[in-house]
Each structure stands twice: as structure tokens, then as C-alpha cells.
Amino acid sequence: MTTTPIPPATPNAAHGDGHHASHNLTGFIIFLCSESVIFLAFFSGYAILRRAALNWLPPGVEGLEWRMPLLNTIVLVSSSFMMVAAEHYKEKGKLWLFRGFWLLTMAMGAYFLYGQAVEWGGLKFGLTSGTFGATFYLLTGFHGLHVATGVLLMGLMLVKSFIPGNYNGGEEGVKATSLFWHFVDVIWIILFVLLYVWRT
């Protein structure tokens, strides 16, 4: 308690070896904010096209089946809580519990992707089935790409956890991945409401 903390306002001291971590997290958060605008563009495009459509559903299509996607939603949302648990154990230094929960999160993400693929496989409309089909595949596809990226990032962080001493603090990749995962999760909730809950 006698050590007077050096004010963090001397960023020039922080450019040395491996202290870029805090910059990395700042940069990643800025990037995520920017990324959310693409989704905002797609969401608003979807809403505008849907509200303007005379016949939103293409001929022969009754609407979207919502039970399987709802199960998917529950899996994805709970995976975020598994991730919080994983981070909690990392903070406590219990690396094996961290790895366990982290792997569980990954598995739930992979299950979500599997569910998405099964849903796509059973649909009677395609990308060219009017704006209904095009927006559906664009939104779910672009989101699915983010889920896949999240699972890959998690795999990378899992591998990195085996480097001795790597997670003794200062490693911010886990924090960034978890931010990304929560982001993907929130996007899905909005997407689910727009695609499956919204009735005209």
C-alpha cells in the first residue's frame, strides 16, 4: 500500500513488450461497435422490405417453423452463461474448470450451427424466392458466419490456454472472444424476434 501507483496517463511507458493488450481490447470493442452497424443495416433493410411487400410470403410457403429455432435460441443464450462461468474460473486460476466450461460453450455454439443447417435443409424456399427468401438467408447466413467465427476464436483461445503461464493475467483474448460471443448472442435475439416472432 506504500507503493504510489504510477498514473496510467503515461501511455508511452506501455508500448514495450506485450503491454499492447489493453490497446487490443479497446481496438476490438471499437471494431464490434462498427460491426453492429452492418447488422443494423440488414435489420432495417429487412423491416423496410417486409413492410412494403404486398405478398411477403412466396407462393406455397406458409411461414417459418419456430420450434426448432426456439430450441436453438435457448442453447445459444445459455451458452453465454456457460462462458461467464468459464471466465469466472479463469479469474480464480482454475484452468481445468475454465477449459471445461469453455469447451461446453463451444459445443453449444456448434450445436446451434448444426441446428441452423438442419433448418436450412428442410426449407421449401430458396435464396431467390422473393425478398422473403433473400433476407432470410442473408440474415441467418451472416449471423451463422459470426457464430462459426466465434467457435473458431474459442478453439484458438482453448489451444492458447495450454501455453504455460499464458493466462496469468494480461491475456485479453479470452475477454475479447467472450465479448464477441455475447454480441453474437444479442444479435440472434433481435434476429429471432424479427424473423420468427413478428407476425403481420
Rounded-to-integer distance, Cα 35 and Cα 140, Å:
16
Judged by CB under 8 A, which stretch of 31-39, 64-72, 88-96, 180-188 contacts other proteins?
Answer: 31-39
- Residue (14 or 117) nearer to other proteins, CB: 14
**Distance of alpha carbon 82 from its chain centroid, rounded?**
14
CB-based contact 19:169 (threshold 8 Å): no
23 binds other proteins (CB under 8 A): yes
Which residues, 6 or more positions from 48, have their beta carbon under 8 angstroms from its beta carbon? none
Q: 25-57: buried (b, 16+ CB within 10 Å) or exposed (e) per residue?
A: eeebeeeeeeeeeebeebbeebeeebeeeeebb
**Distance of alpha carbon 198 from its chain centroid, rounded?**
22
Rule CB under 8 A: which of 131-160 touch other proteins? 131-135, 138
Residue with cell 448472442: 185
Judged by CB under 8 A, which stretch of 7-15, 87-95, 104-112, 164-172 contacts other proteins?
Answer: 7-15
Rounded-to-integer distance, Cα 48 and Cα 11, Å:
46
User: With the C-alpha atoms ordered 163, 97, 182, 76, is the resulting torsion angle positive or negative?
Assistant: positive
- Per-position x/- string for 103-132, each x denoting binding to other proteins as judged by CB under 8 A, each - no binding: ------------------------xx-xxx
Nearest distance from residue 25's CB to other proteins, in Å?
10
- Residue (43 or 89) nearer to other proteins, CB: 43
Rule CB under 8 A: which of 41-70 touch other proteins? 41-42, 45, 48-49, 52-55
Judged by CB under 8 A, which stretch of 12-20, 70-78, 100-108, 179-187 contacts other proteins?
Answer: 12-20
* Interaction site with other proteins (CB under 8 A): 9-12, 15, 20, 22-24, 26-27, 30-31, 33-38, 40-42, 45, 48-49, 52-55, 127-128, 130-135, 138
